[in-house]
Structure 1
Amino acid sequence: MYFILFLVCAALTIIGSLFRLNNLKEIKQPQGNFIGQISLDFEEIIVRTSVKEQIKIRDIKNIDINIRSIKGQYDGYSTSKFYYENGLSNGTENFIIMVLNNGIIKKYQFEYIPEISFLLNQKLIEHYYKIGIMDYLNCVDILGLDKREDWEKFKKLRT
Structure 2
Amino acid sequence: MRTAVVRIDVDPDRILTPARRAAGLRALRADATGLCENPGVELRFQVATDDPATTVRDLVDACARAFGTEPVPGTVTFLSRGTDDDAHGVLAGFGLTGDVGRLPDAAGGFDIVTVTLREADLARVTESRVLTALEAALNAEVRLLLR
The answer to which structure, 1 or 2, has the higher relative contact order (CA under 8 A, 6+ apart) is 2
Give the TM-score taking structure 1 as reference length.
0.27
TM value normalised by structure 2: 0.28
More strand by share: 2
Larger radius of gyration: 1
